Amino acid sequence: MATALLVSQSRPSASRLLALLPHLFVGGAREAHTASNGNTSRPSRFYKSAHVVPALDGSGYQLMLDKKPVRTPGKKLAVLPSHPLALAVAAEWEWQDKGKPQLHTMPMMSLVAHALDQPRPRDKVIAHIMNYVHTDAACCLYERGALARRQQEVYGPILEALRRDMGWRFLSSDSIAGSHQTDELVEGVRAWLNGLDHWHLAAMEQLTSTTKSVAIPAALLRGHITPAQALAAARVEEDFQAEEWGRVEAGHDLDEADLRSRVFGPSLFVRLLQMR
């Protein structure tokens, strides 16, 4: 239903997309949004509505606030290649109620700005991602025991899927020094990253930093796991410890909400990017 809405919308409006976004936000954005409607101490937002229009040069869809085009912090026009993605980013702006936009509730707009502005050279971004290859969370296991078995249950299918799909043979280890990978694996990952466009690379970088892994976000972007499975894979140790010792109120919940935003945001970003 949501997909049909995204691709069949005749008028570029973000209002119907709002229902897709609350699960991305940290700290109960829906409740905060509702409560803020009665808060007269905050100034009204500086625009009435967010929408998208075809870019003048035909390169995609321009995000608009009223009649003004949105620009990134680097002064680039916020032109997106996918209409559904442009609508979703507009919905993040539409979700804002009063005062200045709350950037932590705009994960996809943050990715748009990062992809367009490219604050660091492309080779530096790839080098940052490559730093995780030898310390990949999906390959660094605990000593033999219940937690190590849980890790193998979760990570094993992910690594096997990448082996079948990409020919990547990740090596797992319980050494505190990490899991040193082969030159073949390293070059294979580097070649794949070099082939990503700046949109996908921005999503990959955030997912890698969030999950402390190259394998988990690669499997996500390749369609082998869902965002929920990627989130679970990134939280194997935390969830295991919570099961053993209990959850800390306002501790584990907030950590999980933050991680969910950082995983689900780029996941939805890439999904909508592919819906031309």
Tokens of 173: 């280890």
pLDDT score for 38: 47
pLDDT score for 97: 83
Q: Distance of CA 217 to CAs 12, 121, 166, 210, 265, Å?
A: 31, 21, 14, 9, 12
Q: 8: burial class by Cβ within 10 Å (0-12, 13-18, 19+)?
A: exposed
The DSSP-derived string for 213-254 is -SHHHHHHHTTSS-HHHHHHHHTHHHHHHHHHH-PPTTTHHH
Element (H, E) at 153: helix 146-166
Tokens of 29: 């954005």
CATH superfamily of the 2-116 domain:
ATP12-like (3.30.2180.10)
pLDDT score for 10: 37
d(CA 168, CA 186): 9
The one-letter amino acid at 44: S
pLDDT score for 29: 42
d(CA 263, CA 240): 19
Q: To which residue do tokens 């190259």 refer? A: 214
Tokens of 214: 């190259």
Domain extents for the chain?
Answer: 2-116, 122-245
| Mean pLDDT, the chain cut into blocks of 10 residues (276 residues total) | 33 46 44 45 80 94 96 96 96 88 88 95 97 95 87 96 98 84 97 98 97 98 96 88 67 74 94 89
Distance from chain centroid for Cα 98 = 25
pLDDT score for 103: 80
d(CA 53, CA 205): 29
pLDDT score for 181: 95
d(CA 87, CA 62): 10
CATH superfamily of the 122-245 domain:
ATP12 ATPase (1.10.3580.10)
Residues forming a β-bridge with 62: 53, 79
Domains 2-116 and 122-245 belong to one CATH topology: no
d(CA 137, CA 80): 32
d(CA 207, CA 261): 11
Number of residues assigned to the chain? 276
